[in-house]
């Protein structure tokens, strides 16, 4: 496990905590939207950003759970600014409602952390007729980003501060098809298995950030877009997936619980990319353990990234 503790060029390692990598950073005046903040990695990201003075807005599917999280953070951090709004990432209509409600708050937007994710045991379809992993993990975040982008551009122009988009994904070597993404399986998930479908959606997260970065650089927009692998962390993503599942998946879940660090000890990279000044000017990168890492060739394929975003734009515009 020596590699886990070895510090990279950033000065941090896999053993660094979110509070350590944001120590001394003043986030006062910044506003962040964090998806999936009612539990797991997103919850800890919201807590640490609030600790640094950031005004956090949490779009959550379960509003009651969101308010419970808000109260727990405020109890520990008096004066923390936490907003809760309803949003179901698997529904494009719900994402649009959230974006409209957020805009009505007249808040600027400096940071967008696309963190929420789903991993199911059955490749079912969303209410919009899309394969559920792809709909939730990618399309929901793709649409949300598009709807909030003008606010982020305006905020970066008015404040002179770089806007930051962080896509929380998986390993840069996700298990998927040889060609990367099967676009013909987005509307027809038959023939997909759970891990291929999940891997396909996570690959899409990396490609999305990659293409956003290219567009921002081309247009001179002062916003960065990066993707991060949060590390092997035991969260309810795995526990909910593996409940009543087969023996092999149950063994994998047990191994993750046994060897992975707790969220409180390990949620690091999203906070690092959201706040640390060391990241200024870095965009289109894939981060692991707070350091730039190399994803698979498919995850950095510019043509696949462009094709994915054109395809996604068509889906959300239909």
pLDDT (tens digit per residue) in 170-214: 876 777 888 889 999 999 998 888 889 999 999 999 999 999 999
Catalytic residue, chosen from 5, 177, 198, 210, is: 198
- DSSP 3-state of 55: strand
Across the range 99-109, mean pLDDT stands at 98
**Strands of the 31-34 sheet, one edge to the other:** 82-86, 55-60, 31-34, 111-114, 163-168, 223-229, 286-288, 291-293
Q: What does pLDDT average to over the chain?
A: 88
β-pairing, 291-293 vs 286-288, is antiparallel
Residue 133: pLDDT over 60: yes
Closest CA to 89 of 48, 170, 145: 145
Residue 34: pLDDT over 60: yes
Q: How far apart are CA 296 and CA 276, in angstroms?
A: 26
Reading the block at residue 115, the tokens are 């963190």
The string of pLDDT tens digits covering residues 6-26 is: 889 999 988 889 999 999 999
Across the range 263-267, mean pLDDT stands at 48
> Which fold is adopted by the domain 8-233+266-317?
Rossmann fold (3.40.50)
Query: How wide is the angle at C-alpha 311 spanned by C-alphas 314 and 59, nearest 5°?
Result: 75
Q: Is the model more confident about 212 or about 263?
A: 212
Please, which residues bridge with residue 288 across strands?
229, 291
DSSP state of 260: S
Q: Within 13 A of 106's CA, how many CA atoms are on the CB side? A: 0
Active-site residue flag, 198: yes
Q: How far apart are CA 19 and CA 263, in angstroms?
A: 12
């Amino acid at each position: 496990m020596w590699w886990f503790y070895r510090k990279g060029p950033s000065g941090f390692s896999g053993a660094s905590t979110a509070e350590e990598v944001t120590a001394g950073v003043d986030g006062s005046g910044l506003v962040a939207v964090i998806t999936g903040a009612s539990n797991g990695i997103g919850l800890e990201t919201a807590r640490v950003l609030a600790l640094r003075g950031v005004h956090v807005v949490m779009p959550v599917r379960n509003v009651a759970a969101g308010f419970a999280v808000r109260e727990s953070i405020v109890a520990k951090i008096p004066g923390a600014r936490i907003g809760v709004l309803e949003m179901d990432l698997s529904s494009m209509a719900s994402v649009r409602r959230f974006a409209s409600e957020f805009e009505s708050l007249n808040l600027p937007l400096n940071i967008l952390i696309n963190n929420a994710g789903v991993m199911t045991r059955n490749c079912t379809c969303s209410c919009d007729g899309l394969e559920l992993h792809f709909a939730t993990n990618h399309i929901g975040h793709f649409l949300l980003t598009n709807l909030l982008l003008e606010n982020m551009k305006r905020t970066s122009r008015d404040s002179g501060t770089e806007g930051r988009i962080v896509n929380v994904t998986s390993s840069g070597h996700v298990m998927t098809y040889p060609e990367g993404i099967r676009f013909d399986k987005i509307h027809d998930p038959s023939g997909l298995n759970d891990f291929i479908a999940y891997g396909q959606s996570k690959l899409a997260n990396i490609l999305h950030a990659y293409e956003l970065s290219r567009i921002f650089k081309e247009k001179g927009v002062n916003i960065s877009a990066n993707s991060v692998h949060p590390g092997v962390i035991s969260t309810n993503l795995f526990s909910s997936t593996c409940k009543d599942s087969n023996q092999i998946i149950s063994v994998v879940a047990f191994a993750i619980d046994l060897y992975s660090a707790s969220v409180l000890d390990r949620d690091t990279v999203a906070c690092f990319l959201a706040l640390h000044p060391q990241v200024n000017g870095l965009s289109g990168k894939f981060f692991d353990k707070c350091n730039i890492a190399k994803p698979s060739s498919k995850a950095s394929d510019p043509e696949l990234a462009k094709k994915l975003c054109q395809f996604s734009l068509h889906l959300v515009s239909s």
